Structures are given as structure tokens and as C-alpha cells.
Structure 1
Amino acid sequence: MGFRTYIDGNSVGHAANHGNAKQQKLYAGGQETTAIYGLIRSLNLILRNRTHATPVVLWDGRSWRFERFPEYKGNRKDTPDKLAAAAAYKAQMPSMVRACHLLGLRQLIAGNMEADDLAAILTRDAVAKGDGVALITGDKDWLQLVQPGVVWVDHKSEPERKCNEQDFKTFTGFANPLAFVHAKGLHGDSGDNVKPNTGIGEKGAKDLLAVFPCVRSFLNTPLDEAQDRYFLHHGKKMPSKMLNLHTDPAVQARFDWALELMDLAHPSIPAPKQMRLTHAPLNRAGFEQFCGEHAFHSVLKDMDRFLQPFITLDKEFPKQ
């Protein structure tokens, strides 16, 4: 049995760029370098205790979701400040990819997929082969991938927050990942601009899915029986918005639409296109030059210690 580590590149990069509102922005030669510096520092911390695993940094391509919902994530660029922040981050992307390349890390991207989709594909493959998986991300959408042998790790917290199959209910409030993702289908995701307008919010979704294992189970249960089960569990009548979900095809269609965008195991997800895996040996001289170009003096002063986890990984998992 092996072990794999899948790292959400943009989650790490964005956290480094925006994680501390009081932090001073970094620049070199007129270009902002805050996200670049934060990424390499975070990767060092993430990998320092994970040199036994094969790490892959996953990047976002242009999501297939935009074709089905053009307003997907539209609220992330709906003000001049948000547009400027997005542009500043995007300008640092080539250097972040280059840094990972010089550090000898595998990187994977698909032209039509987000890192979430790639993580789902790779996790299914790893589990089928009997391998364990660590999912390194601050994105709670990846929690739906938790299963035996798979742990979700929030890189943004200190110490790291983790969620595995045993503590999934305590961590999320849902009995299993299916209930978790069905709840998102009911109340949506404001961060991604997915608003199904089912009338059921986060609390209502938790109340409903405390009684039924998933929304499909609720819809397939005769209404009278569903109401009785809800009353027995909660000691109160089922709210009218849940009755509407059970009886109104239009509300059910809005749930199905949202679920298609958020369920990483949804059958309508297309196959990956233009998938590219890159990997080169650790290039110390190149990385030292990179740090000089970007004025990362603190890394240069402690290069031996900084590179140690990457050197170990390079020896254990050489370029194939």
C-alpha cells in the first residue's frame, strides 16, 4: 500500500496571498510576489512531515462548469477591487508554477477541469489501488472525497485541521459525504455563485438530512411517511419549504442543477481534456536563482534547511 498527497495549488496560493490582512505585500522589480513567496513557504511546511508520500500539486484549468452556467464564480470579479486582486494573483501564477517545477514537484492540470475534479479522479484511482490519500486544501468542497483511507487536511490552520471517515460527522455535521454534498445542492455555495433557491438554507438542510440519508431518499419516501419520520426525529412538523421540495418538480430541478455543479462524482462531469503532468528533478541552482530574482532573501539565507523536504522527496520519488 502506498500513500499519495494531493495539494490544491490555488488554495495554498490564495491563502498565502490573502490569509493575513495585516501582512505587507511583497514586490520585486515592480511585480507583486506575495502569493509566490507564501506558496513556497507553505509547501515547505506541508511537505516537511510528508516525505513518505508522493505529492502532486493540482492546478485549476478553465472549468467545464462555465459552459453550463456562465455566471459560475461571477461574484468573485464583480467589483473593481476584486478584479484588481484577481489580476494581481494571476500575474504571479507563472512564477508559482515555475517554483514548483524547480523544487522537483509533480504538477497536474487539465484544460477543462478545476483542481477539485482532478482530486476526485485521482482519489478514486488511488483508493481502487489500495493507496491512502491526504487531500491538502482549505476548500471544504473536497470533504466529499473523504472515505476509508482518505483524509482531508486544512493547510491554513495551525495546527492542521483534519477530517477522516471516523470523525466526518463530528467535523461536518453530516453522517456521510453523500449527505454533505446533497446539503450543498439544497442551499448552494455563495462563494461559487451557485444559488439553487430551493428555500432551504444550511440549517434546514442539516435538519432534513439528519432524518434521511440523502435528498433522493427523502423524495422517494411517500410524503405522509416522510412527515411522520421528520416529526419523530425533531418533535415538530416538517417546514413548508421541505414539503415544497417533495412536491414541486421545479424546486427539485433547481436542486439537481446545483448538485451537478458541486458533486465531484456526478455522472455528467466530462472527461478531462488537455491533461498535462509535469515533473523534473530538484534544481537547486535554478531555485537559488529564482529566489534571487524574487528577492526571497530569507530563503536564500537558510537554503539548506528550506530544501531538505524537497531533497528527501527527490531521492525517494525520482523523475520517472
Structure 2
Amino acid sequence: MMTDLLLIDGNNIGYAAMYQPALSRLAHNGSPTGGILGLTQSVMRLSALFPDAVPVVLWDGHAAWRRELCPEYKANRKDTPEKIEVAEKWRQQEPLARTMLYHMGVTQVRACNAEADDLAGLFCRSLQTEDCPVRQITLVSNDRDWWQALGPSVDWFSPITDTRVTVEDMGTDKVKDGPFSGVDEYLLAKAIAGDDSDNIPGVSGVGVKTAVKLLRTHGGLEGICAAVENGSAKDKKSAAIAEQHATIRRNLRIMDWRQAPDPDPWQIGVAREPFHAAAALDWCAELGLGRLSERLSDDGAWGRQVGMWPVGNVVDFLEDAVHA
């Protein structure tokens, strides 16, 4: 039996929930709970939007090798008092959110030494194996870095804007800074321009659109460097790109999931238990999430939906990908 998957970026969505005014103020007994509610409600909403897909929440571990290459990597996540407060509130809630999803019957995956991005890439590449039980993967994240995994059987969905992007869309104006000739051009242009969200510095004054234009004009990064060397490219931006060739290659190493070290399979956990309504309701009471408990009864829509998921196929697919 073939099935579809939703690979959900758990930290991305939970952290984003803490910037929604109503959720950012939500607390119980002095402890923040808005991120837990935001993430769990998002998972339930996504399951309703994609009724034929099984949700799998991916969690970040610590990919220390990226900071070794770029000490500034993600340092901007805590560069203001507001960001520090939000990050701390979400840090407190993350393990509680994982427990809630566990009681709700949602499959979750975390690697100690890899990010959710790396896991998404690993599972998307596993679609190419023979006898794969998964037909389609929808990547759910507000992070456009995840576009790099787009393909014939992989699309992307932003739960904030409800925007869906396919690999065909990459060649149109639908995508930010597009069109692109493909995901490789997109990645290389980002490596040149840098990534403000992850605090990866690029070539000053060169944005993604300019990078794409120069890559096409000169036939790629090596073509730009050759054109500068032989004098056929005399503009300052091409010269800056050639000068920072090593930095661009470093950025591409950080950004391109295919260049990430393979996660240690023995440090990846796939966790899933059947939906346990009583435990979920007890956890809702513990966290003061009464509005969520109304949707988690034994005979409610959530319980019926979870009961229809071909979970065995999904877990087999995930574990086979991890140990391939």
C-alpha cells in the first residue's frame, strides 16, 4: 500500500508560533505553552488539509560541524533581548510538545548530530529506492532552504502563508527571487548571496537575483572566476564573487544537504506510539490546554484520522532510510 508523507519542521513551526501575539502570551502556572498549542494545532490542521498523508515531525539536533565551518551560523537567533526570551520560552516547551505529539500518535524523528533539514534530505533521497512504500512527500516548513529537495515526488508547503511550491514552480516567478533553472542554481545563488535567516555571510552587495544573472552570463561560479581572471568580466560584483570563491564554496557546503555528513544511524530516534486519548487529555490538563482537549476524545475526528494511517509502512520507510 502506497502512502504520502508530510515531513514537518517541528522547531521551525513551534518557534514561529511564539511570534503570534495570542500564543506568545499563553501560559499555565507561569510556564509558557503557546508554542506547544501552536505546533499541535498546526499538525492537526495540516492533517486535515492533506488527509491522504501521514504527518512525521522532524526535530533539530546539533550539527556542530556547521558552526565549525562558520562560527556566525545562526548566532543571530539570540542577538536581541526579545529573541533570547522567545528562544528560551520555546526551549522550555519543546520537550513538552514532543510528549504531546507522542500521546497524539504522531511519528517523530530526531538525530543527535543532525538538523531537521538533514533528516528531510535523507528521507527525500530515499524515495528513489526500489519498493518504496511512499508515493509523495510534502515538506512543511516556513524555511525556503527546503526547496532544495523539490523533485517529481517532493513539494513544499508553508503553513504560515498556505503557499505550495513544486519543482516546476522553481522555473517561474511564483518563487521569491525566481525563476531558477533548477534547485542547483537556486542553491549556488544563495551561497553567493548568503542567508540572513541563518546568519551565513555572503558576497556584500550581491543578492540572489544578481547572482543568478552572473551565473548565467558566465556559465557558473567557475565561469565567473575565469571571466574575472581573463578580463572579460570587469564589473565589481563579478570581481567580489571571484575574490570570495572559497567563502562561497564553504557556504554551499553548509547549505547543500547532499554535502552534509551522513547522520549516525545509531543516533537517530524514530518514536511513535498509537493515539492514547486518555494520556493526551491528561497532558492537556497538565498544561492547561483545555481548547485542545476538546479535539482529542476517543471518538473524535482526530482519533478516527489517526486510526486510518498506514503507520507500519511509514515507520518501515523511515527506519530503512536511516539504516540504508
Q: How would you bin the TM-score normalised by the shorter chain?
A: 0.7 to 0.9
Say yes or no: does 1:175 pair with 2:181. yes
Corresponding residue for residue 316 of structure 1: 309
1:51 corresponds in structure 2 to 51
Question: Contact 2:76 / 2:199 at 8 angstroms: preserved in 1?
Answer: yes
Q: Deviations over 1:220-262 (max 9, x none)?
A: 67977975xxxxxxxxxx632214434x4xx111111111111
Distance 1:276 1:226 in 2: 53
User: 2:303 and 2:227 mapped to 1: Cα distance?
Assistant: 54
Tell me the equivalent position of 2:319: none
Once the two structures are TM-superposed, the CA of residue 318 in structure 1 deviates from its matched residue by 4.1
Checking the alignment, whether the CA contact within 8 Å between 1:179 and 1:213 is kept in structure 2 is no
Aligned to 2:262: 271
1:133 to 123, 132, 137: 137
CA distance in 2, matches of 1:37, 1:116: 23
Aligned 8 A contact 1:4 1:134 in 2: yes
Give the percent of matched residue pairs that are identical in Structure 1 and Structure 2.
28
Task: Check if 1:153 corresponds to 2:144.
Answer: no
- Aligned partner of residue 257 in structure 2, secondary structure: coil
Separation (CA, whole Å) in 2 of partners of 1:23 and 1:292: 17
> Which of 223, 237, 241 is the aligned partner of 1:245?
241
Offset, 1:305 = 9.8
1:101-128, CA deviations, whole angstroms, 9 ceiling, x for partnerless residues?
A: 0111111111111101110010010244
Give the residue type in structure 1 aligned to 2:241.
Answer: L
Matched residues, number = 302
**Distance in 2 between the 1:144 and 1:117 partners?**
11
Q: What CA distance in whole angstroms lies between the structure 2 residues aligned with 1:276 and 1:161?
A: 30
| Cα distance between partner residues in 2 of 1:199 and 1:260 | 21
2:144 aligned with 1:109: no
1:162 corresponds to which residue? 164
Distance 1:27 1:200, change over 3 A: same
Partner Cα separation in structure 2 for residue 88 and residue 200 of structure 1: 35
Q: Secondary structure at the match of 1:71?
A: coil
| Counterpart in the other structure of 1:206 | 212
Deviation beyond 6 Å, 4+ runs, structure 1: 220-226
Q: CA deviation at 1:47?
A: 0.7
2:192 and 2:241 in contact (8 A); partners too: no
Q: Give 1:53-72 correspondences, 5 Å limit.
A: 53-64=53-64, 65-72=66-73
Following TM superposition, by how much is the alpha carbon of 1:292 offset from its aligned partner in structure 2, in angstroms?
1.2
Q: C-alpha displacement at 1:192, in angstroms?
A: 1.2
Aligned to 2:196: 190
- Secondary structure, counterpart of 2:57 in structure 1: strand
Report the alpha carbon displacement of residue 299 of structure 1 after superposing the two structures with TM.
2.3
* Aligned-partner Cα distance in 1 for 2:223–2:129: 27
SS at match of 2:157: strand
Take 2:300 and 2:285, find their aligned partners in 1: how far apart are those partners?
15
Report the Cα offset of residue 298 of structure 1. Answer: 1.8
